[in-house]
Amino acid sequence: MKIFESKDGINYIRRGQMIPTETVVNMPDFHLIENRKAIGTLIESKGLTEWSFSLSANDVVYGLGQNMRGLNKRGFVYESFCSDDPNHTPDKRSLYGAHNFFVVLGEENWGLYIDFAGKVTYDIGFEDKNQLKITIEGVDFDAYVFKGTFESITKQFRALIGPSYVPPKWAFGYQQSRWSYEDATVVKEIADRFDSEDIPCDAIYLDIDYMERFKDFTISDERFPEFKSFVKDLKARDLKLVPIIDAGVKVEEGYSVYEEGVEKHYFVTDDKGKPFSAAVWPGKVHFPDFLNADVREWFGNAYHEMLEMGIEGFWNDMNEPAIFYSEKGLNEAIAFVSAQAGQNLDIYTFFTLKDKIMGLSNALSDYKAMWHRMTTRSGELKVNHYDVHNLYGYNMTRAAAEGFKRFDSDRRFFMLTRASHIGMAKHSGIWTGDNHSWWEHLKLNVQMMPSLSMAGFLYSGADTGGFGGNVSAELMVRWMQFSTFTPLLRNHSAMGTRRQEPWQFDQATLKIIRDQIRMRYALVPYLYAEFMKANQDQTLLFAPLAYAYGDSRSLLVEDQVLFGEGLMLAPVIEQNALGRYVYLPEDMVLWKASSVENLNQESFVKMEHGDHYLPLAINESAVFIRKNHLLVLTEPRNRVSKLSYDHLTVIGYVEDEATYDLYDDDGVTNQFEKGIHHKTRLTVVRVGETYRLSVDTTVTTLGNIELYIIDKNGKTHHLKQEKGVL
């Protein structure tokens, strides 16, 4: 083992020769530290590494990205092993992502990133409340140890992994999905209904039923005839279609993707070198070997035909990879079940029989039976899938992202994926997977967003309303109130569940949801600016209160989060609740957000530091503006592309002075990477008993600005600036 240190104090630990993940893209200059003892206690035994650290009584542990339980991960066991599991219950140790970064705040603040392709288990004070024990299923890995403040630790880590994925700006609009809108007629009806109900929308998703018998890169002529024209017609209405692509390629003679993959040896193999066979939606499939550079280029180019038809984005799914069953596993299960015919089964035999069937899906034995030809700098490396499992979905999406660049290197395309690894944060956004219409999953969504920001996944969000189960009108509204601030705002639900489009509820609920989506569109310039600044500055878009506040009480808050530089969100997350308790780490201004059309001087209330009970009607959500910060709104429109700076509303809690930089760019190209963007600096200064606004802008079409400024005494000042005159 070798330990290095950077000038910024990052310790880099290198043990053996790890399988490359290509996650770290900005390696600092390190120098070797002689005779440095290992940080924590490292024990290697039987091909595993156990790494233990002491925890003080008041230490709080944040991170691990997409995983179960609260903001503070202390007191349970978690795994980094991408898992296709739709039942996100508290006993689950892993979901779809492998995000090996966490931060410990306490007597000493430190963070750790483990760069490793396989399974890692974290016992965070479960077996021993005073110990954090990490089990790495291997002995070759890299690790990075950070020290400093919460903000500095996350900045150092984010600098290592590089900038996050930036979608086109339309992706900040509302997106409607269901498994499935089964044909073109239904999709058109959905689009028409959004317009007739005057509800903003930018995208409609196509789930697996748009394909010809679930075959990747095919379109059903029966259900979607004249697909290219259909896409063109929707684009003329400024609506995007987002089709799904799955990891498994159907085994079928005459299917070009399958035949070319077999001919060129592009599929993951079994131990005999033959394409590994398993089953997903279309029945038997082979899995492309995305860890091979030639395969990534081939699969990435396959997206081009649909891009040429006018498609501007995709969502990759089932890429853990999800396996319903393998041929070997199914044959063994059938043989065992057949042998029990006519038998008098006792409890243990029956449970064994049951487990044989239930254990067919995503079996570890199947993952261990798959082999890759992984491309590395030194050539191809034969590796077992189990050892690189967490890289599979990451490299599928990498293949797509690289394919998009070959199609048009300067254009942003929309990319969303289910399985993920930290290295994928530069290629795609993620959604949090197959959640349920449970209040517990709304709370989980709130708690997961800061962990995802820490892992570099800024463009993220949940299936609003829940994917599985039947959503109530109340849960739909409360979830929408929180999702108004998540970069991804997608309403997605499963086949056989209650429909979740906004008009599927009573008229009162429809109005609340319409108002909430209109509020989202009014917020898009602000949300986009906060997103881009968090990306460029390596700050967190969502954060625990402890990110900005050092008091011990903030460490205990589990259901309030900071958003961007100036807001705190306190969503209602309990059924039948018409209010909630909140903790304010400092004086803040409350906006009981319900509609952007009814703003007035009574819309804002200054609240003092401390604990409060806050009444919130079903159409109200709690948005808090932090001291000396500004919130910017525009007039809502029904498409993101129609939003403008013709009329801005600025809301602020200002004691003496507050400044906000409203970032903007063309929202379509990658020119922002070259620094080509617009910036409007809004500065509000107290002058005597009133306030003055100054504007420094590169936006040529900036129009009138209306201000609601709350002073330290709680008085709201309503001012208007017309063409530069206040």
Domain positions in the chain: 2-161, 528-721
Residue 294: active-site member:
no
pLDDT in the model for residue 723: 59
| Tens digits of residue pLDDT in 478-532 | 999 999 999 999 999 999 999 999 999 999 999 999 999 999 999 999 999 999 9
Q: Which of these is catalytic: 317, 565, 620, 665?
A: 317
What DSSP character marks residue 641?
A: G
pLDDT in tens, 393-452: 999 999 999 999 999 999 999 999 999 999 999 999 999 999 999 999 999 999 999 999
Q: Locate 175 and state its tokens.
A: 């997106």
User: What pLDDT shows up at residue 38?
Assistant: 72
* pLDDT class of 726 with cuts at 50, 70, 90: very low
What is the pLDDT confidence band of residue 698, given thresholds at 50, 70 and 90? confident
Active site residue 320: yes
CA 208, CA 510: separation in Å to the nearest integer? 28
d(CA 266, CA 259): 10
- The average pLDDT across 466-472 equals 98
What is the CB neighbour count within 10 angstroms for residue 598? 9
Q: Tens of pLDDT along 593-640?
A: 999 998 999 999 999 999 999 999 999 999 999 999 999 999 999 999
Strand partners, 41: 52
What is the tens place of the pLDDT at every residue in 224-280? 999 999 999 999 999 999 999 999 999 999 999 999 999 999 999 999 999 999 999
pLDDT in tens, 159-181: 999 999 999 999 999 999 999 99
Catalytic residue among 59, 320, 402, 559: 320
Rg (CA), the chain: 26
Give the integer Cα–Cα distance in Å for 349 and 594.
58
In this prediction, residue 725 carries a pLDDT of 45
Q: In which residue are the tokens 């599927």 written? A: 504
Three-state SS sequence of 424-473:
HHHCCEEECCCCECCHHHHHHHHHHHHHHHHCCCCCEECEECCCECCCCH
Calculate what percentage of the chain has a pLDDT beyond 70: 99
Choose the catalytic residue: 289, 434, 501, 530.
434
pLDDT tens digit sequence for 334-386: 999 999 999 999 999 999 999 999 999 999 999 999 999 999 998 999 999 99
CB 634 within 8 A of CB 596: no
Rounded Cα gap, residues 235 and 237, in angstroms: 5
pTM beyond 0.95: yes
Contact 101, 21 (CB under 8 A): no
Is 317 in the active site? Answer: yes
- 473 has which bridge partners? none
From 613, 610, 612, 606, select the one nearest 627 (Cα to Cα): 606
Q: Per residue in 204-219, pLDDT tens?
A: 999 999 999 999 999 9
Quick: pLDDT tens for 31-57.
999 877 778 999 999 999 999 999 999
Measured CA angle at 652 (ends 649, 656), to 5 deg? 135
Alpha-carbon distance of 67 to 90, in angstroms, equals 10
Higher pLDDT, 107 or 137: 137
* Run of H or E residues at 260: helix 256-263
* Single-letter code of the amino acid located at 240: K
Q: Kind and range of the H or E element at 693?
A: strand 690-697
How far does Cα 166 stand from its chain's mean position? 12
Question: Smallest Cα–Cα separation from 209: which of 248, 234, 178?
Answer: 178
What is the per-residue pLDDT for 384? 98
Q: Which of 138-147, 284-293, 464-473, 717-726 has the lowest mean pLDDT?
A: 717-726
CA distances from 250 to 267, 280, 312, 361, 536 (A): 12, 9, 24, 17, 41
Report the half-sphere exposure of 673 (CA within 13 A, side-chain side).
Answer: 13
Q: Could you write out the three-class secondary structure of 484-545?
A: CCCCCEEECCCCCCCCCCHHHCCHHHHHHHHHHHHHHHHHHHHHHHHHHHHHHHCCCCEECH
Q: What is the pLDDT of residue 491?
A: 98
Domain 2-161, second-level architecture: Sandwich (2.60)
Render pLDDT for 556-606 as a digit per residue (tens, 0 to 9): 999 999 999 999 999 999 999 999 999 999 999 999 999 999 899 999 999
Residue 105 pairs in a beta bridge with 60
Its CATH architecture, for the domain 528-721, is Sandwich (2.60)
Q: What pLDDT is attached to residue 39?
A: 86
Query: What pairs with residue 670 in β-bridges?
Result: none
Whether the bond between 282 and the residue before it is cis, its omega within 30 degrees of 0, is no
| Element counts in the chain: helices (H) and strands (E) | 14, 44
Q: Helices 327-339 and 347-358: crossing angle, nearest 10°?
A: 160
Other beta carbons less than 10 A from residue 44's beta carbon: 15
End-to-end CA distance of the chain: 65
Q: Do domains 2-161 and 528-721 have the same CATH topology?
A: yes
- Residue 484: which of 457, 510, 522 has the closest Cα? 522
Would you call the peptide bond into 472 cis, given omega within 30 degrees of 0 as the criterion? no
Instruction: Work out the average pLDDT over 654-675.
Output: 97
